[in-house]
């Protein structure tokens, strides 16, 4: 076989049918609970000024130090393909003055994200997320609402193996004391140079180190839950009890941290065990009460999540669920001869306009080839027109399952087909 001259760049791949329809259906399912709950759709550019991410996501994070696709434009601007959606959405909300209207502002978005990662199953350089952000309220009810809406999305896809893990990172009231205690503990460990540097810059990030020897050394590290202020604790307890009220079981993990620096208080991750330990998060998010100020805005306490569509599809495959999303048609038209093709072209256009999923054989195929195409299309009905039919102004409507066939006046094809499709096969 000839090798193609071009391949998708390393760490990226294509979605071709039927997985193409499946990834679209996954995104739709993630968006549906949000639209249902009154969230408005927002779309931002796929690239932003590099400084937005450096400041917003955090200078010492892996994303900013190792994973960004950054470049200088021909005009000399420093830009980066977005590695995540929260900083851009907040930038857009501030720029468009959404925060000056009624609060909270509830937004959702869907798109492509780019990270220069080491490619492996579930970890790609181009991936897609559906995200949600609630801007401008400290109310723990919205933290809980977002978690419930995400779990509803996973459930609507038929997934049973997704669970949610929650933690609180505390606010500025609690974090400094915890940070100091953690730093003191970590300085007592025998760490490599890179990790030791991280202890000084951003000790919380060390908790996220996946190496088993580091995880073992962290067994006795202080946990944030012992350092939460009364207000932080009551916020966290409220989130947890609202989840219980909504019938969403959760697991506490006092060591949960995430790869972005902007989180405060509530932090959560949606986990699926079926897609490999290092990539088990199918989604995640948290509260980021200080991010707006970090990027030059007013105080705007907010919370949000992003769900990974690619990994969610992998999780569905791991559970053996059928691929979501419908493709194919219900009616397939088979013309025999040029004149019949012209007539059927109009009939098919009419069927489609009336909402019937219909396709047609092209290229002047003979009956056998065209009927094969009809079978492949998944259609229930074939509409066949031969020369005799043309002369009589009829079409033959054939049930592709039973093989039974019936002549129908051309003018009645739409009505006949609609009625047949409405009754169970
Ligand atoms: P994050 O923005 O890191 O919180 O990621 C949110 C979700 O996006 C994760 O839980 C994953 O499902 C997905 N995700 C993040 N990075 C990647 C990647 N490199 N490849 C595929 N999915 C990803």
| Domain ranges within the chain, ordered by starting residue | 19-174+228-318, 331-422
Task: Out of 3.90.740.10, 3.30.930.10, 2.70.70.10, 3.20.20.60, select the CATH number for domain 19-174+228-318.
Answer: 3.30.930.10
- Asked if residue 127 has its Cβ within 6 Å of ligand 1, the reply is yes
Task: Residue 311: name the closest of 273, 349, 359, 347 by CA.
Answer: 273
Distance 276 CA to ligand 1 centre (A): 14
Task: Residue 177: name the closest of 109, 229, 120 by CA.
Answer: 229
Instruction: Output the pLDDT for position 328.
Output: 87
Distance 367 CA to ligand 1 centre (A): 49
- Asked if residue 209 has its Cβ within 6 Å of ligand 1, the reply is no
Structure tokens given for 279: 């990539």
Distance 411 CA to ligand 1 centre (A): 53
CA distance to 171, 201, 226, per residue, from 223 (Å):
14, 18, 6
> Into which CATH architecture does domain 331-422 fall?
3-Layer(aba) Sandwich (3.40)
Query: For residue 86, is it left (φ>0), alpha (ψ between -120 and 50) or beta?
Result: alpha
Residue 84 alpha carbon, nearest atom of ligand 1:
2
Distance CA 224, CA 277 (A): 24
The answer for residues whose C-beta is within 8 angstroms of residue 218's C-beta and 6 or more apart is 206, 207, 209, 255
Structure tokens given for 365: 């195929």
Distance CA 49, CA 271 (A): 32
End-to-end distance of the chain based on CA atoms, in angstroms? 42
Pocket test for ligand 1, best of 311, 315, 318 (most atoms within 8 A of CB): 311
Contact 88, 131 (CB under 8 A): no
**Residues 70-82 pLDDT 10s:** 999 999 999 999 9
Instruction: Output the pLDDT for position 1.
Output: 59
Which positions of the chain have pLDDT values less than 50?
A: none
Strands of 381-385's sheet, edge to edge?
A: 358-360, 331-335, 381-385, 394-399, 405-409
Distance 178 CA to ligand 1 centre (A): 27
Three-state helix/strand/coil letters over the chain: CCCCCCCCCCCCCCCCCCHHHHHHHHHHHHHHHHHHCCCEECCCCCEEEHHHHHHHHCCCCHHHHHCCEEEECCCCCEEEECCCCHHHHHHHHHHCCHHHCCCCEEEEEEEEEECCCCCECCECCEEEEEEEEEECCCCHHHHHHHHHHHHHHHHHCCCCCEEEEEEECCCCCCHHHHHHHHHHHHHCCCCCHHHHHHHHHCHHHHCCCCCHHHHHHCCCCCCHHHHCCHHHHHHHHHHHHHHHHCCCCEEECCCCCCCCCCCEEEEEEEEEHHHCHHHCEEEEEEECCCHHHHCCCCCCCEEEEEEEHHHHHHHHHHCCCCCCCCCCCCEEEEECCHHHHHHHHHHHHHHHHCCCCEEECCCCCCHHHHHHHHHHCCCCEEEEECHHHHHHCEEEEEECCCCCEEEEEHHHHHHHHHHHHHCCC
What residues are paired with 383 via a beta bridge?
Answer: 333, 397
Residue 285 alpha carbon, nearest atom of ligand 1:
4
Distance 283 CA to ligand 1 centre (A): 7
- Asked if residue 305 has its Cβ within 6 Å of ligand 1, the reply is no
The answer for residues whose C-beta is within 8 angstroms of residue 62's C-beta and 6 or more apart is 259
What angle separates helix 140-156 from helix 19-36, to the nearest 10 degrees?
A: 150
Structure tokens given for 78: 């420093």
CA distance to 159, 238, 248, 249, per residue, from 245 (Å):
21, 10, 8, 10
Pocket test for ligand 1, best of 82, 303, 308 (most atoms within 8 A of CB): 308
- Asked if residue 281 has its Cβ within 6 Å of ligand 1, the reply is yes
Strands 250-252 and 281-287: unpaired
Distance CA 302, CA 86 (A): 10
Residue 83 alpha carbon, nearest atom of ligand 1:
2
Q: Which residues are annotated as a binding site for L-histidine?
A: 84-86, 115, 129, 133, 258, 262-263
């Amino acid at each position: 076989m000839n090798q193609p001259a071009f391949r998708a760049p390393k760490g990226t791949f294509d979605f071709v049918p039927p997985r193409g329809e499946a990834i679209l259906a996954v995104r739709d399912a993630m968006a549906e609970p949000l639209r249902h709950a009154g969230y408005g759709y927002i779309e931002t550019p796929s690239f932003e000024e590099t400084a937005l991410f450096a400041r917003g996501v955090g200078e010492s994070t892996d994303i900013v130090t190792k994973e960004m696709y950054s470049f200088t434009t021909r005009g000399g601007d420093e830009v980066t393909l977005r590695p995540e959606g929260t900083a851009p959405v907040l930038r857009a909300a501030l720029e468009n003055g959404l925060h000056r209207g009624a609060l909270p502002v509830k937004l959702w978005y869907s798109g492509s994200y780019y990270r220069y990662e080491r490619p492996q199953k579930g970890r790609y350089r181009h991936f897609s997320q559906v995200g949600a952000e609630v801007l401008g309220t400290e109310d723990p009810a919205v933290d809980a609402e977002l978690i419930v809406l995400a779990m509803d999305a996973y459930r609507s896809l038929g997934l049973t193996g997704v669970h949610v893990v929650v933690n609180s990172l505390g606010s500025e009231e609690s974090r400094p004391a915890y940070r100091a205690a953690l730093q003191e503990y970590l300085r007592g460990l025998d760490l490599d140079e890179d990790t030791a540097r991280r202890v000084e810059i951003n000790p919380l990030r060390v908790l996220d180190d996946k190496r088993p020897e580091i995880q073992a050394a962290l067994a006795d590290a202080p946990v944030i839950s012992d350092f939460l202020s009364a207000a932080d604790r009551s916020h966290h307890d409220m989130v947890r009890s609202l989840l219980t009220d909504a019938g969403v079981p959760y697991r506490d993990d006092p060591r949960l941290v995430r790869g972005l620096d902007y989180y405060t208080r509530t932090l959560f991750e949606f986990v699926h065990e079926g897609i490999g330990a290092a990539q088990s998060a199918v989604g995640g998010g948290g509260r980021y009460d200080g991010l707006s100020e970090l990027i030059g805005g007013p105080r705007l306490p907010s919370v949000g999540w992003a769900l990974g569509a690619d990994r969610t599809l992998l999780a569905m495959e791991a559970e053996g669920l059928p691929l979501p999303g419908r493709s194919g048609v219900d009616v397939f038209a088979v013309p025999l001869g040029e004149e019949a093709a012209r007539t059927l072209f109009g009939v098919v256009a009419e069927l489609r306009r009336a909402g019937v999923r219909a396709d047609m054989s092209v290229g002047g195929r003979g009956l056998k080839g065209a009927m094969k195409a009809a079978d492949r299309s998944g259609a229930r009905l074939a509409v066949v027109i031969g020369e005799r039919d043309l002369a009589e102004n009829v079409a033959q409507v054939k049930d592709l399952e039973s093989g039974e066939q019936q002549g129908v006046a051309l003018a009645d094809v739409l009505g006949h087909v609609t009625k047949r499709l409405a009754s169970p096969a």
